[in-house]
A and B are shown apart, each in its own frame.
Chain A
Amino acid sequence: MAGARVRLAVLGVLALALAALPFLADKFYVQLATKILILAIFAMSLDLLVGYTGLVSLGHAAFFGFAGYLLALVSPQYEAANLWTSLAIALAGSAVLALVIGALVLRTSGIYFIMVTLAFGEMLFHLFHDTSIAGGSDGIYVYVRPVGTIFGWQPFDFEDFTHFYLVVLVAALGVYALLRMVLASPFGRVIVGIRVNEHRMRSLGYHTFRYKLVCFVLAGTLAGLAGYLAAVQFGVVNPDMLGFHVSASALMMLILGGMGTLVGPAIGAAVMMTLELLFQKITDHWLLPMGVFIVLVALLLPRGLVGLVTGARAKDDSRG
Chain B
Amino acid sequence: MAEAAARETVLRTEALSRRFGGLAAVDNVALECRMGEVHAVIGPNGAGKTTLINLLSGDLPPSAGRVFLRDREITGLRSDAISRLGVGRSYQKTNVFLPFTAFENARVAAQSRLPSSMRFFRSARTYRQVNEAAERALVQAGLEGREGIPVSALSHGEQRQVEIAMTLATGPSTLLLDEPLAGMGAEESARIVELLQKLVAGHAILLVEHDMDAVFAVADVLTVMVNGAVLASGPPEAIRSNPEVQEAYLGTEEAH
Interface residues of A (CB under 8 A from B): 181-182, 184-190, 193, 196-197, 199-208, 210-211, 214, 315, 318-320
Contact = CB atoms under 8 A, between A and B. Distances in A.
23 contacts: A181-B120, A184-B124, A185-B121, A186-B122, A190-B111, A196-B98, A196-B99, A197-B95, A197-B97, A200-B97, A203-B59, A205-B83, A205-B170, A206-B80, A206-B112, A206-B117, A208-B80, A319-B99, A319-B101, A319-B104, A319-B150, A320-B103, A320-B108
B80 A205 contact: yes
Nearest to A207: B80
Contacts, number: 103
B113 interface: yes
Contacts of B109: 204
B23 interface: no
A199 B94 CA distance: 12
Nearest to A182: B120
Contacts of B95: 197, 199-200, 203
Contacts of B78: 202, 207
Given A319-B101, A319-B104, A200 B96 contact: yes
B114 interface: yes
A319 B89 CA distance: 23
B169 to A, nearest CB: 9
A203 B80 CA distance: 5
Given A182-B120, A184-B123, A320 B104 contact: yes
A193 B124 contact: no
Contact of B99 (A184, A185, A208, A315): A315
A123 to B, nearest CB: 30
A84 B170 CA distance: 44
Interface in B73-87: 78-81, 83-84
Given A196-B97, A319-B100, 18 more contacts: A184-B123, A184-B124, A185-B121, A185-B122, A187-B118, A187-B119, A188-B120, A189-B104, A189-B111, A190-B111, A197-B96, A199-B59, A203-B80, A204-B109, A204-B170, A205-B84, A320-B103, A320-B107
A33 B100 CA distance: 36
Given A203-B89, A214-B118, A319-B150, A186 B100 contact: no
A211 B108 CA distance: 14
Given A202-B79, A203-B80, A205-B80, A186 B104 contact: no
Main secondary structure of the interface of A (DSSP, over half): helix
A207 B78 CA distance: 9
A200 to B, nearest CB: 5
Contacts of B10: none
B216 interface: no
B57 interface: yes
Contacts of B97: 193, 196-197, 200
Contacts of B196: none
